[in-house]
Structure formats: structure tokens, C-alpha cells
Amino acid sequence: MKVLVTGANGFVGRTLCQRLRSESGFDEVVGSVRNVGGQSGNAMPDGVSVIAVPQGLTANTDWSAVLRGIDAVVHTAARVHVMNDTSADPLAEYRRVNVQGILRLARQAADAGVRRFVFVSTVKVNGETTPIGRPFGADDVPAPVDPYGISKWEAEQGLRQIAEQCGMQWVVVRPPLVYGPGVKANFAALQRAVEHGWPLPLGAVRNQRSYVALDNLVDFLVTCLRHPKAANQTFMVSDGRDLSTRDLALGLARAAGVSARLLPVPVWLLQSVAAALGRSGMAQRLCANLQIDISKAKDLLGWSAPVSVAEALRKVASGESTS
């Protein structure tokens, strides 16, 4: 099987390329990137054919040369969730890349005879929070809230329509927050704070959130490439073990061999202070519940996460290369 991985020098794409090169049955791995040169290009795994697509994901990108001979596509490239977006019209910017650009690729993939298109979407298609004990399922009615989630949902719908018209198999994967060595944004900020021994007001946060380790997500994407029953299905994927923000901080501390300094600040007070500082969104991500149900992946594909949460956090702490 010859596989194209878009966003091949990204957080997920690079590790996926590395894993595919080590797997039997994948005869050639092609990675598309914006720029071949520079640090990102040099960091690509050996044996991956890297092709530059300088224009990136646009409604006018010509993918014909990249798609020549490709059997399957795993699409990881996107305009990712941007904190404090300053765009005049954020939804239009997300749609330009995550809808128009992706559907251009999907249409050309179908025309080129690609058999399966695996699309890495997001749990944000389902929504932002869940009541405890009522996780999002793969077949729940989507209810995206922010521009990123809306754009991903629109892309999912467009992909299905194109695939069904052309006979191309599609697979949609909706992960929650993905973590691993080199993770950035809020997860990295929490990791630094814990490892530096800074006091954190998280001791009373007993929420439940789903996460997925990079190794586990990559393993699932490989399963979606191989498994015949993955065709034309939407899946949720996670580590299979939900954590409170408090427990996540404690797990990061254990992995780093340090003691976490967690202050038992009441959640209502933490949320009130955050609101006064204009950081309500951050408080929601720290305190709210966001659980997903991966029973469909288990039942239909026989999949379970191969890497434990403790081992995944140890890799984060050590910076160990994944896969």
C-alpha cells in the first residue's frame, strides 16, 4: 500500500510517517509538507518521500503529482485551533483551509483512484463539554461551538459526499487533546508548571476528561488504514482512561519524579477569578468535563490503546521519541 500523509512534519504526521515505515504492508510512504528544507524537513523519518506543496491547503491547490499512485491518504494537516484568534473573520479563515482546502484534496484524491481517505477531525465537532457519565459517542448528533469545530464538521460532511459520489472509502477520526513528547500549548504549560514545582490551584478539580497519547492515536490511524470494517465510519479515539485535571497534574509529577504542589482552591472560586481576568475559556478547559466513548472502535475494530497513560506521560516527561 502506498500512503500519503499530509502535514507530514507536524506533531501527528511525523510520528505517523515513522510508524508506517516500520510496518509491513506499507510499501511507500509519501509526506506532503509546506516546505521541504529547514529544520522540519530535516526531521522527517528516513525512507519517507517528502513532497513540498508550497501553496498548502487551498481551494486551488493542484495535488495531482502528489497523488500519483497513492492508495490511501491520511489527512492530518489543518488550520489548528488558535487561541486568542485575531482574524477579522475567524470562521472564514478556518473554512478557507479546513473546508475548501481539504475538499479540494478529497476531490482530487477520488479522481486519482485513492481507495481510502482517513480524515483526522476533532472531538470539538461534538461540542465542548459533557455531563459526567454521558460521554460523546461517534454517532451522536454533532454540535460544534467554535469556528474550528464548525469547520471540521463541514469538512467531514463534504468528504463523505465526495467519497460516496466517487466510490472512495472514508474514515473520520475525532480525537480529544493529543499529547506526547513535544506537545505544545496548554498541556506543555501545565507540564512546565508541575516540573518547576509551581503551586497550582487544581487540588479540588475533580472533573473527567478524555485524552489520547500520540502513540495511541497513531496506532489507531494505522488500524483505520488496514481494517476493512473501518470503511465509511466515524470513530472517537482516546486512551480509554479519563482523568481529572488534578490527576493529570499528579501523573505528570510522578512521571517527572517531582512532587506536585496543588492547592485545594474551590472550583467556583477558580472560575470566578478566571472570568474576572478574561480567562473563562481556560477555566473551562481546566474544570469542565469532556469525555468520549470509544466503544465503537473497540467493538467494530477490536482496537484498544496499546500504551498506558502512565507510560505515555513518562515519554512526555523524558522527551522520548514515540513509535
148 is catalytic: yes
Alpha-carbon distance of 32 to 30, in angstroms, equals 7
Torsion, CA 40, CA 44, CA 48, CA 52, rounded to 10: 0
Exposed, middle or buried, 64 (CB in 10 Å: 0-12/13-18/19+)?
A: exposed
Length of the chain: 323
Alpha-carbon distance of 169 to 110, in angstroms, equals 9
Alpha-carbon distance of 1 to 223, in angstroms, equals 13
Identify any residues that bridge with 169 across adjacent strands, giving them in sequence order.
Answer: 116
Q: Which of 94, 148, 179, 211 is the catalytic position?
A: 148
Scan for cell 500519483, then name that residue: 68
- Is the Cβ–Cβ distance between 121 and 156 less than 8 Å? yes
| Residue positions annotated with a catalytic role | 148
